[in-house]
Structure 1
Amino acid sequence: MKFAKRSMQDANERLGDSLESARAWLGGPLISKLLGLVVLAYVLLCLLLGWYWSREPGLEPLVTAREARVEGELTVQTLQAVMTTLLDKPGGFISNDIMPPGLMMDNMPNWEFGVLVQVRDMTRALRRDMARSQSQSTEDRDLARAEPRFHFDNKSWAMPASESEYRDGLRALASYEQRLQQGDAAFYPRADSLASWLGDVSTRLGSLSQRLSASVGREPLSDSGRARERTPWTQIDDVFYEARGTSWALVHLLRAVEQDYAEVLGKKNAQVSLQQIIRDLEATQAPLWSPMVLNGSGFGVLANHSLVMANYLSRANAALIDLRRLLEQG
């Protein structure tokens, strides 16, 4: 009897020791390993999503000329398609993200800002010039609603979010397009309105070209003759991708303008000039094979991607200035 009791006590003690050991094992290294695996999986997922979301849209036509039935419709449709691509591309609109991986991404938000600036400029040109017969005429109600929506802060994530304001602007553009088809809205493809918008584009490209060129060792001179500050090395890739976004949007918008202003361009013999501008801007969308934006000095061993981009933008801007001058001549 005593032997049986002792055996049971020994068994209970061994069981208790085993349970204690199991608790210590479960509460120690195993939990740490599981947490480590979860964190590793999360980091890998963020890296994969970040890579996928960083892929820029291509230059395939967003809208075909066959879909447009009235003058100006192709430009409005292209403007909507550019903005829709900005909002619905992989990852959506990233500039106002507050969680990884969007929070940690740097290049795509700058690309988005470059596109957004061109959307804002074209919407303003439509409201100010293209949809009005003269300066004293009444502005279009839908364009008057769309323009301030697109100028909303691109980093607002709530109350309201940037996306909600931009989609409201898209709805206003869609309403303008529908009224344009029905003859209840107007679009005037005049040389002066096109020249005015091209002036805005030229200003943007000139500024970007200067900022890109300021990445090199020698400091460029300002208008007063004093040296400007160089672009900080932490912002070199920011300016580069803003320029790529700007160029991507301009390629699509200029293709649409080429169709809607075909008669004006034909009278001025300016089709070839516009096509050359589009070709120069298309060259800015070549794949970047380097894992980062290189900033070599002058004729050094490493490339300077910013200077290559500045060269394309400067060529396009020079052609834009000539085209604008040609359109303004009687």
Structure 2
Amino acid sequence: MGLRERFSDFGDRMRHKWMYRRSSMTGLKTPKPDWQKMKASGWLRKSLAIFAGLLVLYYIGGAFIIHDIEDDVDFRPPAEDVADGGSKAVSMMAALIQREVNDKRWTANDPFFIPSALLDNMPNYQTGVMSALARFSFELTDQLGRLRGSSQADADLSKVSGLLQYPAETWIWDPAVSLWPRASAESQYRDARRALLSYNRRLAAGEAVFDRRSDNLLSTLDRIASDIGSSSSALDTAVDDPALFIDFGADDTFYNVKGQLYAYYLILSALREDFAPVIEERGLDQPWAEMLTSFRKAALLDPWVVTNGAPDGVIVPNHLAAQGFYLLRARTQLREITNILLK
């Protein structure tokens, strides 16, 4: 027992003795204190305080350890995911899934008892990355992975496009849907990665198709431009409703778009290698580099706190408006490249 507790216990005893003596003088009866109950109550309070402290440490410390938003624009697939003669963009997709699902923790579907359930920036970022991969998988299936539009879609790529549409928030159990366990989002994404690697191995062996025509590239860039156009609409909606100081939804939108633009930056960098002959033949080296620079700048925006002030505000900046500027610039440059491909 510490010095403070001893003084406290001594004070309690002296107070009860004085009350007992006073009651003897006045004729009133004061019951003697039950020291065992008092000690039990003190231990209970201490135990609850320790438990609360450990709980706070578990959630705050655990969330801090898990939190990891990686926006390395120089990220490259590991050697084992790259097949000679395969698609660089497909290798990049597989590498991003490996990094966000296997190397890190997939946080978008974490239940309440996992510390990362407190996070919101990392889950939104990962969801943004996966949404870009899911969108690009449609182009792989419908355009790039088969000859013309009349040939059969590749089985692996069809599987990928289906698996990547799986809701990012799905955990292994949801009593609101079913009492039985079900497939989690990360398990579906792992299957998609295996299918991507299978397709790339077959492509390297000459058993699959990656049609490197200019019209396929044009169609792919058009779809990416349309996808980030919808993101600009989400940013516009948020900017139209600025907050004076704190906007708890602004960071969700910001990091979701950041993840999307980051993934597209890496995919477009890889497509530059896949379509090198077309890009060089059409003189697109400079426009492509400028377009990638805009995506890069948008992907690297990383404010300490995301604020959504008035666009013409002086004190509180608007990070969503800044992100939207680079997004729209990248989209305009995509359109310029597709216009050149049309000629």
Report TM bin, short chain. 0.7 to 0.9
The residue correspondences of 1:109-128 to structure 2 (distance < 5 A) are: 109-128=123-142
Listed one character per residue, the Cα deviations across residues 253-287 of structure 1 (whole Å, up to 9, x for unaligned) are 11110111110001111122111121111112335
1:95 is aligned to 2:118: no
1:308 to 309, 322, 331: 322
Offset of residue 88 of structure 1: 2.6
CA distance in 2, matches of 1:162, 1:213: 29
C-alpha contact 2:258 2:299 (8 A) present in aligned 1: yes
Residue equivalent to 1:46: 59
User: Aligned residue for 1:250?
Assistant: 264
Say whether the 8 Å CA contact 2:144–2:211 is kept in structure 1.
yes
- Give yes or no for contact 2:131–2:260 (8 Å, CA) kept in 1: yes
Q: Which moved more, 1:249-258 or 1:100-109?
A: 100-109
Give distance in 2, aligned partners of 1:306 and 1:116: 21
Aligned to 1:238: 252
How far did residue 64 of structure 1 move? 7.2
- Find out whether 1:324 has 2:338 as its counterpart: yes
Q: Residue 3 of structure 2 aligns with which residue?
A: none
Question: Does the 8 Å CA contact 1:62/1:82 hold for their aligned counterparts?
Answer: no
Change (3 A) 1:38 1:89: farther
Note the 1:30-41 alignment, pairs <5 A: 30-41=43-54
SS across alignment from 1:215? helix
Shift of 1:288: 2.8
Partner of 2:196: 173
Partner of 2:205: 182
Aligned to 1:69: 84
Q: Confirm or deny: 8 A CA contact 1:277 1:316 kept in the other structure.
A: yes
Provide the rounded CA distance (Å) in 1 between the counterparts of 2:303 and 2:125: 17
The amino acid that maps onto 2:262 is: W
The offset of 1:43, in angstroms, is 1.4
Aligned to 1:285, what secondary structure does the other structure show? Answer: helix
For the Cα contact (< 8 Å) 1:63–1:81, is it kept in 2? yes
1:21-55 Cα deviation digits (max 9, x unpaired): 45642x32223223322222221232233233332
Which residue in 1 is equivalent to 2:10? none
Alignment of 1:1-330 (within 5 A): 21=35, 24-25=38-39, 27-57=40-70, 58-63=72-77, 67-70=82-85, 72-90=86-104, 92-99=105-112, 100-158=114-172, 159-217=182-240, 233-286=247-300, 288-290=302-304, 292-300=305-313, 301-329=315-343
Match of residue 3 from structure 1: none
Q: CA separation of 1:42/1:264 partners in 2, compared to 1, >3 Å: closer, same or farther?
A: same
**TM-score, L = length of structure 1:** 0.82
Q: 1:289 to 1:151 in 2, by over 3 A?
A: closer
**Which residue identity is paired with 1:212?**
L
What code does the residue aligned with 2:92 have? T
TM-score by length of 2: 0.79
Gaps of 5+ in 1: 1-19, 220-231
Let me know the Cα RMSD of the aligned residues.
2.3
Query: Unpaired runs of 5+ in structure 2?
Result: 1-33, 173-181
Residues 264, 64 of structure 1: CA spacing in aligned structure 2 closer, same or farther, 3 A cutoff? farther
Cα 1:52–1:272, aligned 2, differ >3 Å: closer, same or farther?
A: farther
Runs of 4+ in 1 over 3 A off after TM superposition: 20-24, 64-68, 216-219
Corresponding pairs, count? 294
Identity %: 25
Question: Is the alpha carbon distance of 1:104 and 1:64 closer, same or farther for their aligned partners in structure 2, counting shifts above 3 Å?
Answer: closer
